[in-house]
Structure 1
Amino acid sequence: MKIGILGSGNVAQSLGAGLLKHGHQVALGTGSPAKLADWSAQHPKARVGSFADAAEFGELVILSVKGKAAVEAVQAAGAQRLAGKVVIDTTNPIADAAPVDGVLQFFTGPNESLLEQLQREFPQIRFVKAFNSVGAAHMVDPSFQGGPPTMFIAGNDEAARKTVSGIVRELGWDVADMGTATAARAIEPLCMLWCIPGLARNEWTHAFRLLKRS
Structure 2
Amino acid sequence: MRIGILGTGHVGQALASAWARAGHDVVIGSRRPGDPELLAKLEGLLAAGARIEDSAAAAAHAEVLVNATPGTASVALLRTIGAPALAGKVLLDVAVGFLADGTLSHPVVSLGEEIQRAFPETRVVKTFSTIDRGVMVAPDSLEGPSTVFLSGEDAEAKQVVHGLLADLGWPDDSVLDLGGIATARGQEHFADLFVAVARATGTYEFGIRVVLPAAGQGVAGG
> How far 1:21 moved relative to its partner?
1.0
> How far 1:146 moved relative to its partner?
1.1
- Highest CA radius of gyration, 1 or 2? 2
Aligned to 1:79: 83
Q: Secondary structure at the match of 1:207?
A: coil
1:1-214 counterparts in 2 under 5 A? 1-33=1-33, 34=35, 36-43=38-45, 44=47, 45-98=49-102, 105-110=103-108, 112-142=109-139, 143-147=141-145, 149-173=146-170, 174-199=174-199, 202-212=202-212, 213=214
Tell me the percent identity. 33
Q: Distance in 2 between matches of 1:38 and 1:28?
A: 14
Q: Distance in 2 between matches of 1:138 and 1:39?
A: 22
> How far 1:82 moved relative to its partner?
1.4
> How far 1:36 moved relative to its partner?
3.4
Q: Distance in 2 between matches of 1:138 and 1:59?
A: 24
> How far 1:42 moved relative to its partner?
1.2
Unaligned runs of at least 5 residues, structure 2: 216-222
C-alpha contact (below 8 Å) 2:19/2:167 kept by paired residues: no
Q: Which moved more, 1:164-173 or 1:50-59?
A: 164-173
Unaligned runs of at least 5 residues, structure 1: 99-104
Q: Distance in 2 between matches of 1:192 and 1:166?
A: 29
Q: Across the two proteins, how many residue pairs are aligned to each other?
A: 206
Alpha-carbon displacement from aligned partner over 1:28-60 (angstroms, at most 9, x marks no partner): 001133353235321231110100010011111
> How far 1:88 moved relative to its partner?
0.3
> How far 1:171 moved relative to its partner?
1.0
Counterpart residue identity of residue 110, structure 2: S
> How far 1:76 moved relative to its partner?
2.4
Counterpart residue identity of residue 62, structure 1: V
